[in-house]
Amino acid sequence: MQHTVGVGVLLFVFSFYGECSHFRGGTISWKPIHGHTIEFTFKMGWTFGSGPGCSNSKIGQFVNTTFIGDKIWKCDQGCKVPKKPVGTVFYYCTGANEIGSDAEKWEQGENRFQETFIGNGPFIISYTGAMWMNLDFGNPNGWNLQTTIDLRVRDDINSTNSSPITASKPLYTLQFSCYHELKLPMYDPDGDLVKCRWAVGKECDSVCHAMPSASLDEDTCTLKFNTSTGSNYTNNGWYAVALTFEDFPTKTIHVGNEQFNETTPMSTVPLQFLIHLVGKNSPCNWKPEFVSPTPPAGTKISISAGKSFTKKIYAANLANKKET
């Protein structure tokens, strides 16, 4: 009798854990500050109400509502202390969607932390937990976001590498039964060549290749997929994308004693996010397109910290360009 009660309680705890921890991806990048001190910047998304507590009324504020599951970035490889905690996942609230079904609601935030390493590495910093929200392809379960760090000096810049930087929304809502191309932004502070590829193995945990028959242009990081009838995509379907970005030197260099060239990556950063397909009666090209004088895609604009930036952007319907 007592045995039965014990099992019941255990099952309850597991299902509670699964329902409450709805991870929606994120990214992390890093740069050297001085010596072996590295500053990490991360961005993360959660199902609204399941994360650190971002909402539309708290944008810009630090939020640290506690939630079920791990809340710590750890050193997964290379540190003397195994699984050394290096930062929390609490963050400054940057955006939230509080309307729609529970699945459509999300929150997102970002924050930084610093860590002083011993030795040159390589190190892996990661954030691992369970669970992803329910998906329509694959078996969503645990997540892992990780980045690799090499602190050896590059002989072309006489200093330590900085990782590439990327970003996305936690959720892209796209029209079902259409062909889509999604170009993800990427940038490298050292001017290195950046490419993206599908995350593999531990890099993506339960959401590796969770986009049916999608292809990836690694040079421009453009994800291409056709959700038309007959594909493995379903109306109202939810899908996770897990990518890894890498930086390559544009010429042969030495990092420590090792030679690197345009085929050998110096670091890796993750980008994970969700796609939701929604059926509509309108044609596939019935969507907004940015038009001049909006700055072209990929334009880089530098803004000093703390300063605000204003720029007007213009959009037209792709199916009827005369309507702005």
Ligand X SMILES: *[C@@H]1O[C@H](CO)[C@@H](O)[C@H](O)[C@H]1NC(C)=O
3-state helix, strand, coil in the chain (%, to 5): 10, 45, 45
State the nearest-atom distance from the C-beta of 201 to ligand X, in Å.
19
**Shortest distance (Å) from residue 8 CB to ligand X:** 30
Q: Is 234 in the site for ligand X (CB under 6 A)?
A: no
Q: Does 66 bind ligand X (CB under 6 A)?
A: yes
Alpha carbons 130 and 144: distance in angstroms, whole number: 9
Please report whether residue 157 would count as binding ligand X according to CB under 6 A. yes
CB of 137 to ligand X, least distance (A): 9
The site for ligand X, by CB under 6 A, has a size of: 17
Q: Which of 220, 261, 282, 285 lies at the binding interface for ligand X (CB under 6 A)? A: 261
**Of 228 and 236, which CB lies nearer to ligand X in the complex structure?**
228
Q: Which is nearer to ligand X, 173 or 259 (CB)?
A: 259
Long-range contact list for 286-290, CB < 8 A, 24+ apart?
A: 286/317, 286/318, 286/319, 287/175, 287/317, 287/318, 287/319, 288/315, 288/316, 288/317, 288/318, 289/315, 289/316, 289/317, 289/318, 289/321, 290/314, 290/315
φ and ψ of 141, to 5 deg: -150, -115
- Contact yes or no for 50/67 (Cβ under 8 A): yes
Of 220, 226, 245, nearest to 297 by C-alpha is 220
Question: Could you say whether residue 231 binds ligand X (CB under 6 A)?
Answer: yes
Question: Which among 140, 184, 179, 152 has a CA at the least distance from the CA of 24?
Answer: 140
Q: Which residue stretch of 6-14, 104-112, 160-168, 257-265 sits at the interface with ligand X (rule: CB under 6 A)?
A: 257-265
Task: Name the segment binding ligand X (CB under 6 A); options: 193-201, 229-237, 282-290, 300-308.
Answer: 229-237
Indicate whether 139 belongs to the interface with ligand X (CB under 6 A).
Answer: no
Among 12, 14, 16, 179, binds ligand X (CB under 6 A): 179
Q: Does position 116 bind ligand X by CB under 6 A?
A: no
Nearer to ligand X, 79 or 204 (CB): 204
Extract the tokens encoding 262.
């345009």
Tell me if 177 contacts ligand X by CB under 6 A: no
Report, in Å, the least distance between residue 320 CB and ligand X: 21
DSSP states along 19-72: HH--EEEEEEEEEEEETTEEEEEEEEEEETTSSS---GGGTTSEE----SS--E
Question: Mask of contacts with ligand X, 187-226, x by CB under 6 A?
Answer: -------------------------xx------------x
Using CB atoms within 10 Å of the CB of residue 8, give its burial: 0 to 12 exposed, 13 to 18 middle, 19+ buried: exposed
Binding residue (CB under 6 A) for ligand X from 228, 235, 250, 282: 228
Residue whose CB is less far from ligand X, 226 or 234: 226
Positions in the binding site for ligand X (CB under 6 A): 64, 66, 157-158, 179, 212-213, 226, 228, 230-232, 252, 259, 261, 263-264
